Amino acid sequence: MNNVDKPRILVVDENEANRLLLCQLLKEYNVVEADCTEAALNKVDSEKPDLMLLDVMVPEEDGYSLVSTIKSARKTQPIPVILITPLHGIDEKIKCLENGADDFITKPLNPLELAARVKSLLRIKSLHDQLENFHNIVISLALALEAKDDYSVNHSKRTAEYAYRLARRVVPDDPEVELIKFAGLLHDIGKIGIRDEILAKPGKLTLEEYEIIKNHPVLSEKICSSISSLAPCLPFIRSHHESYVGKGYPDGLQGDEIPLGGRILAIADAFDALTSDRPYRKALSRQVALDILRKHAGVQWDPLLVQQFCEIIESEDVYEYIAI
């Protein structure tokens, strides 16, 4: 790994000898130094460190105030901060954490402990950066769809929210909940590749046009597959038009062969389509849409998920909130 790729650590300490020691202990990283609060804030702005090591006795204002400043600004809040303190008492440790520090280490420094804490927080920062990049990609793709078709992007936003509510009820502690929401935002991105006159056609589609429409889950998957961070969402995106008895598309999957995220998206997608104005019909009422879901549960959609979804819509204010 060259210097440019190495994580950047900002060391803040008024004592030059202490800074030199930390630079030596952290020589595998890019280390930037500051000897006071003003210099530290300038370095945060110019160097954009991946982690800060901050002595509580930093001049001008104590380390607690500086870490509070760092953590109160949206731009710098994600930067992990380790406070270095000479005190070992529990009150001191609590004070470090209450002021926003992500971790603390006491003097005299133990090189192995320092290395372990730094490595752990840098890993967390890296995961945060990946997630932020993931969010930006999703937003960019959604904006691309919005530029083509206002209905599609609003439909995708509502579908994502309905799917998120259902996933949160069915598997509340599963990481897939967030992935299902992202898949909901992107499930129709393939419609970018479909002609406007087909998407907005007010009458019945021809067989050829219907086959083109049926290909949009595959197109959506293809567009998203070029972005490695979206890989976990691909099975959900591809399968959101599969049928519970195996008569859907593109793969004719049935029952549990369909990924959970795909089964959830299928219900959310259908409900929003039913309750929205389309080129060929006016929106149906919430109750009529729920009746249709129940009627076709076990044939078109997973019956247990339909039951859960209907309970959510009927017992929560989610419909009024999302439909706005």
Q: Which residues are catalytic?
A: 191
- Would you call 83 helix, strand, or coil by DSSP? strand
Q: How far is CA 21 from CA 17, 62, 87, 292, in A?
A: 6, 21, 19, 70
Query: Cα separation of 309 and 36, whole Å?
Result: 56
- Residue 125: count of CB within 10 angstroms of its CB: 18
Locate 148 and state its tokens.
């083509």
Q: How many CB atoms lie within 10 A of CB 173?
A: 6
Q: How far apart are CA 283 and CA 243, in angstroms?
A: 23
| CA separation for the pair 242, 249 (Å, rounded) | 5
- Rounded to whole angstroms, what are the CA distances from 127 to 59, 139, 318? 32, 18, 31
Exposed e or buried b for every residue in 28-56, given b needs 16+ CB within 10 A? ebbbbbbbbbebbbebbeeeebbbbbbbb
C-alpha to C-alpha distance for 161 and 280, rounded to whole angstroms: 25
Pick left, alpha or beta for residue 222 (phi over 0 → left; psi -120 to 50 → alpha; otherwise beta).
alpha
Nearest to residue 70, comparing CAs of 92, 94, 49, 86?
Answer: 49
